[in-house]
Amino acid sequence: DSGVTQTPKHLITATGQRVTLRCSPRSGDLSVYWYQQSLDQGLQFLIQYYNGEERAKGNILERFSAQQFPDLHSELNLSSLELGDSALYFCASSPGYGEAFFGQGTRLTVV
């Protein structure tokens, strides 16, 4: 158990819809990262938050957004969903340096 909690574990939704994925980082970790793993793209960095502030951005679509709340949990919002958004979405956390610890992921299926 990495200490990073992601909910829900599975999500099935229709194209055009909007979903919110939730992540609770390890106790004491200030940084939260979101990654997407799809079959053809592998693990791709999406975005990082550190203590509530956006720190780094990767290949995140404009239809996607994230935030980190004062209690340090984070949410990833995916809107206008397309079939190609079906993937595993991982959250990871770290104290701000060193290795990142990953949650078990949310499997999103867009039908």
CA 30 to each of CA 40, 54, 75, 92: distance values in angstroms, whole numbers, following the listed order: 31, 12, 14, 11
Selected binder of other proteins within 78, 100, 108, 110 (CB under 8 A): 100
What are the backbone angles phi and psi of residue 25, rounded to the nearest 5°? -75, 170
Min dist CB 10 to other proteins, Å, is 10
Kindly indicate which of the ranges 11-19, 61-69, 74-82, 100-108 contains the residues binding other proteins, using the contact rule CB under 8 A: 100-108
Provide the minimum distance between the beta carbon of 18 and other proteins in the complex, in angstroms, as a whole number: 24
Please report the DSSP string for 52-80 in residue order. Answer: TEEEEE-S--TTEEEEE-TTS-EEEEE-S
Nearest CB to other proteins, comparing residues 62 and 99: 99
**# residues contacting other proteins (CB under 8 A):** 25
Across the chain, the runs of DSSP E, i.e. the strands, are 5-7, 10-13, 19-24, 31-38, 42-50, 53-57, 64-68, 74-78, 87-94, 101-102, 106-110
Q: Which of residues 1-60 bind other proteins (CB under 8 A)?
A: 2, 4, 31, 33, 35, 42-45, 48, 56, 58
**Which residues in this chain contact other proteins in the complex, by CB under 8 A?**
2, 4, 31, 33, 35, 42-45, 48, 56, 58, 90, 92, 94, 96-105
